[in-house]
Amino acid sequence: MNLLSLDIAANFGEGCQPRSSALVLSDGFDQLDKHSAVQFYGGKTWSDVLEHLRSLGDEPVFGAAYYLEEWSVLSKEALPYYLRAHLEFMIETLSSPQPDEDFLSLFFHQLYQVIFMHKGSPFNTVQTVLLQRIASSVAENANDHYVEPEVLRFLAELRTHDS
């Protein structure tokens, strides 16, 4: 997982933190999720989001406040920036004795949603290949019957739009 962590750091979360006004595309679709996305991600760096995710274990009431649905409606520019937080959290949970299977299942479901909504990968080629590598690794090592189908669904959707 160390090599994946280095690849994630090299390819996601780069550049400047997106401005709140550039977080979502106001096109009339998914307005509630987009409003929530601006509220949660606005003014935060990817590392702020990672700290939020890490703190969830300490919050029994808000234990599943992953903001993945909100992440999935971010603009093409904001998606890879904030994806770093979710990927790093995924690596951390996979290396823990009790992986957060709810997070993993929801994470890969929202990755599928992003590919489906954009009719292909909104990420650059290197990022897309890295996401495929990560998903394949998770699918091979999944111990949970909820996680593996979501990972395979994400990979199938990527293949559907592969040109």
pLDDT digits (tens, 9 = 90+) for 35-91: 999 999 999 999 999 999 999 876 655 557 899 999 999 999 999 999 999 999 999
Residue 112: give the domain boundaries. 2-161
- Report how many domains make up the chain: 1
Give just the sign of the alpha carbon dihedral 151, 152, 158, 161: negative
User: What residues contact residue 47 under an 8 Å CB cut-off, 6+ apart?
Assistant: 13, 85
- In this structure, the number of other CB atoms found within 10 A of the CB of residue 78 comes to 22
pLDDT band at 150 (very low <50, low <70, confident <90, very high): very high
pLDDT band at 148 (very low <50, low <70, confident <90, very high): confident
Give the separation between CA 121 and CA 112, rounded to whole angstroms.
Answer: 10
